[in-house]
Amino acid sequence: MTTFGIVVACMALMLAIGMVRGKPGRAVADIALLVILFGLITVVDLVFGLFIDTGDAAKAVAIFFASGFALDSVYGLMAPERQKQRDKKLRRLMKRRA
């Protein structure tokens, strides 16, 4: 339950900061990416759990990713110029893939 609370708090922080910055779409996109990462973490934990005892490693990795995304959004609030550079790089990457 503690892991769930920490992850939800990080997601709420990301969404709140996105709304303060006037760009909630980016926060929702980051949350969607985080949910996809949680799915991948779960699958990897299930596969490794068949062969070894993983313990709470998946929970620790999930908290690590959630807190990383939350810290990135806080840093984006404090340094919006860095976020603009990230957005330009993402746009270029997406144009190459399309």
pLDDT, one tens digit per residue, over 62-93 is 999 999 999 988 887 877 777 677 778 778 87
pLDDT greater than 70 at residue 38 = yes
Query: Domain range spanning residue 54?
Result: 2-97
Domain count, the chain: 1
pLDDT greater than 90 at residue 45 = yes
pLDDT greater than 90 at residue 98 = no
pTM of this prediction? Answer: 0.76
What average pLDDT does range 17-42 have in this prediction?
A: 89
3-state secondary structure the chain: CHHHHHHHHHHHHHHHHHHHHCCHHHHHHHHHHHHHHHHHHHHHHHHHHHHCCCCCHHHHHHHHHHHHHHHHHHHHHHCHHHHHHHHHHHHHHHHHHC
